[in-house]
Amino acid sequence: MSTPPRPVTAEDCRAADRADPLRPLRSRFALPEGVIYLDGNSLGALPRDAVARSAEVVTQEWGHDLIGSWNKNAWFDLPVRIGAKIGRLIGGDGGECVATDTTSVNIFKALAAALRIQDEDAPTRRVIVSERDNFPTDLYIAEGLIELLDQGYRLRLIDSPDELDDALGEDVAVVLLTHVNYRTGRLWDMADASARIHRSGALAIWDLCHSVGAIPLHVAADGADFVVGCTYKYLNGGPGSPAFVWIAERHLARAVSPLTGWWAHREPFRMSDSFAAADGGRRFLVGTQPVLSLATMEVGVDLHLEVDPDALRRKSLALTDLFIALVESRLAHHPLELVTPRDPENRGSHVSYRHPEGYAVMRALIANGVIGDYREPEVLRFGLAPLYNGFTDVWDAVETLRRVLDDELWRAPEFQLRDTVT
């Protein structure tokens, strides 16, 4: 297949948008006029159909059908039904996926379940391997669980993928990795890493927060034991929408969630005085589900199920390639250091740059209509969501960045103060 030439002028970008087979999907999202939204990796844009769906759940299902909705509108099955759809999106053949709780809580459950399986099979394995620059919650949850278990577990952190083999060994129980790094956008080869982890006798938990909805996934074929991920980033599920947890088929019978709430019970409405876990994925539920968030989130998941993941990936890489090329050709005179891998094979769907005044630069960019975000230290992050971002967006964003830097717009005092959420 021939790759179209990379656009180099504003007109080329407009032509690339016209030729883009995914372009029509943009109209399925409500995006404000005059804004270039490059933060879909933090909070995905609003699918237009989600407006009607959330109104329907509130007005009809809650307002009119009231408590009957648990049965009549199948609220009870939402986490399993939507989880199954996400399971399809991530290539979770044979395993089970439920949509529930937050990624943080799901990491806790998956990690505890994996440690327990290993404790039965190989009780001398007491190390959890992860990455020092993993998303903080992943590390915090692991630390907290280690302390709670109080069984001599410890965390071993690696500083780059090259250190994985050295970190593996007879003492490692579980490896907890994030598929696409939230700051740098670096992508792990899941199949290769999982195979190495398994050869060493450990289990692999993958966090898909920055890859689901942007990268084709085959978690079962690629050897994941458990995966977790969120739905409010590239899946466009809405602010704080429930996350998911997937358990590989080979662990379904044995995987035990440490949070044995009544929704994990085999028969929750028998109101039994003792716990008996449900089969499969359901046992990873805890308590009453956030129905409004789940129902709204399903719209984003359905939208993704319509799209060919390989086409999405091709466009995502074309967008990030263009961004990198334009910064290189038009902004070379500024101290912007690319921290995202240049090799497309190793890159997710966002591009990050270090700049000594990163925070103020991002504030100035946002004030000028280009919404990206900032991550410590000094990192400007631009998420290119292939469902709704286009080539002209990239051109215009880079030109605005050029103006912010050339004219030193970031020096204005109002851009120096930190907001609570960056």
Minimal distance in Å, beta carbon 362 to ligand PLP? 18
Q: Which residue lies nearer to ligand PLP by CB, 57 or 205? A: 205
User: Which residues does 263 contact at the CB level (< 8 Å), separation at least 6?
Assistant: 282, 285, 286, 287, 288, 289
Q: Does 225 bind ligand PLP (CB under 6 A)?
A: no
Minimal distance in Å, beta carbon 208 to ligand PLP? 8
User: Reduced to 3 states, what is the DSSP secondary structure of residue 244?
Assistant: strand
User: Which residues does 72 contact at the CB level (< 8 Å), separation at least 6?
Assistant: 65
Q: Which residues pair with 129 in a beta bridge?
A: 156, 175
Q: Which residue lies nearer to ligand PLP by CB, 214 or 317? A: 214
Q: Which residue lies nearer to ligand PLP by CB, 29 or 135? A: 135
Q: Which residues pair with 229 in a beta bridge?
A: 244
Strands 36-37 and 370-371: what pairing?
parallel
Catalytic residues: 135, 207, 232-233, 381
Q: Does 186 bind ligand PLP (CB under 6 A)?
A: no
Exactly one of 8, 76, 137, 256 binds ligand PLP (CB under 6 A); which one? Answer: 137
Minimal distance in Å, beta carbon 182 to ligand PLP? 4
Q: How many residues bind ligand PLP (CB under 6 A)?
A: 13
**Per-residue burial over 51-77, b = 16 or more CB atoms within 10 Å of its CB, e = otherwise:** eebbeebeeebbeeeeeebbeebebbe
Exactly one of 111, 139, 230, 235 binds ligand PLP (CB under 6 A); which one? Answer: 230
Q: Does 284 bind ligand PLP (CB under 6 A)?
A: no
Minimal distance in Å, beta carbon 38 to ligand PLP? 16
Residue 384's nearest CA partner among 7, 38, 26 is: 38
Q: Which residue lies nearer to ligand PLP by CB, 68 or 261? A: 261
Exactly one of 118, 178, 236, 352 binds ligand PLP (CB under 6 A); which one? Answer: 178
Q: Which residue lies nearer to ligand PLP by CB, 135 or 359? A: 135
Q: In Å, what is the CA distance from 44 to each residue of 307, 310, 388?
A: 16, 20, 10
Q: Does 373 bind ligand PLP (CB under 6 A)?
A: no
Output the CA angle 182-132-222, nearest 5 degrees: 65
Minimal distance in Å, beta carbon 72 to ligand PLP? 30
User: Reduced to 3 states, what is the DSSP secondary structure of residue 166?
Assistant: helix
- Describe the chain by its helix, strand, coil percentages, rounded to 5: 45, 15, 40
Q: In Å, what is the CA distance from 252 to each residue of 112, 126, 180, 247, 368?
A: 14, 22, 26, 6, 50
Exactly one of 53, 126, 210, 355 binds ligand PLP (CB under 6 A); which one? Answer: 210
Minimal distance in Å, beta carbon 421 to ligand PLP? 12
Q: Which residue lies nearer to ligand PLP by CB, 209 or 248? A: 209
Minimal distance in Å, beta carbon 137 to ligand PLP? 5
Would you state the structure tokens that stand for residue 52, as one six-digit string?
């009607």
Exactly one of 37, 75, 108, 182 binds ligand PLP (CB under 6 A); which one? Answer: 182
Q: Does 400 bind ligand PLP (CB under 6 A)?
A: no
Q: Which stretch binds ligand PLP (CB under 6 A): 30-38, 132-140, 280-288, 312-320?
A: 132-140
Minimal distance in Å, beta carbon 105 to ligand PLP? 7
Would you state the structure tokens that stand for residue 87, as one six-digit string?
């399971």
Exactly one of 108, 135, 244, 359 binds ligand PLP (CB under 6 A); which one? Answer: 135
Q: Which residue lies nearer to ligand PLP by CB, 318 or 379? A: 379
Dihedral of CA atoms 152, 153, 157, 161 in degrees, nearest 10, equals 130
Q: Does 226 bind ligand PLP (CB under 6 A)?
A: no
Distance CA(307)–CA(205), nearest Å, equals 26
> Is residue 101 a contact partner of residue 137, using CB atoms and an 8 Å limit?
no
DSSP notation for 196-233: HHHHTT-EEEEE-TTTTTTS---TTTTT-SEEEE-SSS
Q: Which residue lies nearer to ligand PLP by CB, 73 or 293? A: 293
- Chain residues 80-119 in contact with ligand PLP, contact rule CB under 6 A: 102-104
Residues that bind ligand PLP (CB under 6 A): 102-104, 135, 137-138, 178, 182, 207, 209-210, 230, 243
